[in-house]
A and B are shown apart, each in its own frame.
Chain A
Amino acid sequence: MTKKLDNIAADLKSRIKDFNQPIDNHLVEFAREYAVSKNLLNQAILKNFRYSHSDRSYKEELYPEIESLIDSIVLDYSENASKETVKNAKNARKQIEDHFFNVSYPSDSVFKSVNLYKKYKRTGFELRDINIDLKFGEITGVVGENGNGKTTLFNIIAGELLHDSGTLNFPYIKQPKNGKLNWIEIDKQIAYVPQELPPWHGALESNLHYEASIRGIKGKENIRSVDYIVQRLGLESELNKKWDELSGGFKLRFSLARALVWKPKLLLIDEPLANLDVTTQQIVLNDLRDIAKNIRFPISIITSSQHIHEIESISDKLLFLEDGKVGYYGAVENVGDNRNTNCFELECNNSLGDLRDALSEVPSISIFHNGLYCLINASLDVSSQDILQKLIANNIEVDYFRNISQSIKYMFTKH
């Protein structure tokens, strides 16, 4: 084993000594595998960090320290790995891991609707047959074109709009026995961030403390909750600004902070990505994903967006609304399971005629332009590779290509 470990250590040293190659976190992985002492692992992380953000001359300067650390890890392993105390420490860590492995989200639904129906008398628009079940730890993405009922649905769930028929149920929230919904209790567990964000008045930080306070979070816990959410959503630099001085992205993040500071059970966010630049969209989406996957303060999130691929990337379930009806409701990974064709989106400078010529040998293919992209429909046995190989072989320069067969976007193309 020592001989083998010596070889691994030598390989690692030569890799690190090639100062032009990034070392990723190889030093850390090595330490994690062989360092018995926690201190050596932490030193490896620290050295890996310093090496990662240094220029060549500093890397050269750092190398002897890294070399000596690798030798120390090898020595540590050969001297201590078989000791009983080390085995006990490993076993203790395993017990912690096992303890939390057995902790999971409550399986309860936070919200259920059965045959939900709402009609606007003036316009005649109907939202109908909405049967959804929102569970802890899940993100449900609601997609659909404008005017298909997304905001109506959100307003009904949030209790801001009365439905005409069907049942709303909040199983996790204690309700009176007479069957009527107790909106005072429900309101204590639901946070709603609407599309049009209402302006805040007064100091931003005070608003957050106030919100936490009226939700029952007092004293030190109030301060800690606000400090946490301010740091977690990166709001500190903006705390001294007025609402009107904030960018659209920060207005949304502050609204999100106010919604989350009191740890609601259900979070509704209507069109969070509208008016955000691409980087901010990604930050908001990552935050939502991290917030939903929390085992101590479990939450269910329902959010709507026109940014289909982005919302698909973080959602567990999707609800596709078309003309007020459910076009699809289910797990993201099952989207497109019942399709008859594969569908590809393509952008290039060539004409539809060129594309048809290039793909003429592909069986049962249809190509059309939807105003934004060329859409290629082909039989289920035609893959992205098949299409791309033909396009490349025919010198078609592809600017953008995406297989949308298992995306809700495919359903949009059917209209």
Chain B
Amino acid sequence: MAFIAANDIKARKEQIQNLVAVNKVSIAINLLLDYAREFPNDSTLLNEAINISRRFHSNKKYKLNNEINFEDYEVSLNKLVESILYLLDSIEDSLMLTLNIDI
């Protein structure tokens, strides 16, 4: 992975989006956890990132143990990816509020 400066918020968000797009969800979630912890002041956003990570690992475990069929696994994975993208936007919205930036 290319080195990205820690304070380059745009590049870090795009890196997470790109990883999701090429199906590297596990790495994307790790970076999302850091992103949600570092930038917003709102701890509920970090809680959401933690929940996403939990859901991802539970799903993986269910799949490994054959406790979930392929279709259901795919549906939950798609939902999880949507949650990641939604959270990234929520973090941006939260920063706009914190920094008092009006559109």
Contact = CB atoms under 8 A, between A and B. Distances in A.
A28 B21 contact: yes
Interface in B26-59: 29-31, 33-34, 37-39, 43, 46-47, 50, 53-54, 57
Contact of B39 (A85, A100, A221): A100
Interface stretch (A10-18, A91-99, A150-158): A91-99
A292 to B, nearest CB: 9
A125 to B, nearest CB: 38
Contact of B103 (A32, A88, A221, A290): A88
B81 A49 contact: yes
A88 B17 CA distance: 23
B22 interface: yes
A120 interface: no
A115 to B, nearest CB: 33
Contacts of A132: none
Given A38-B89, A236-B54, A296-B38, A52 B7 contact: no
Contact of B101 (A96, A105, A293): A96
A87 to B, nearest CB: 10
Contacts of B96: 92, 96
Contacts of A272: none
A413 interface: no
A338 interface: no
Contacts of B103: 85, 88-89, 92
Interface residues of B, number: 43
Contacts of B99: 95-96, 99
Given A236-B57, A294-B6, A224 B43 contact: yes
Interface in A133-149: 137
A236 B60 CA distance: 12
B76 interface: no
Interface string A17-42: 00000001101100010000010011
Interface in B55-103: 57, 61, 78, 81-82, 85-86, 89, 92, 95-96, 99, 101-103
Interface string B14-29: 1001101111010001
30 contacts: A25-B18, A27-B21, A28-B21, A45-B21, A46-B78, A46-B81, A46-B82, A46-B85, A49-B21, A50-B78, A52-B21, A52-B22, A92-B101, A96-B95, A100-B8, A105-B6, A224-B50, A228-B46, A231-B29, A237-B61, A290-B30, A290-B31, A293-B6, A294-B34, A295-B6, A295-B38, A296-B37, A296-B38, A297-B37, A297-B38
Interface of B: 5-10, 14, 17-18, 20-23, 25, 29-31, 33-34, 37-39, 43, 46-47, 50, 53-54, 57, 61, 78, 81-82, 85-86, 89, 92, 95-96, 99, 101-103
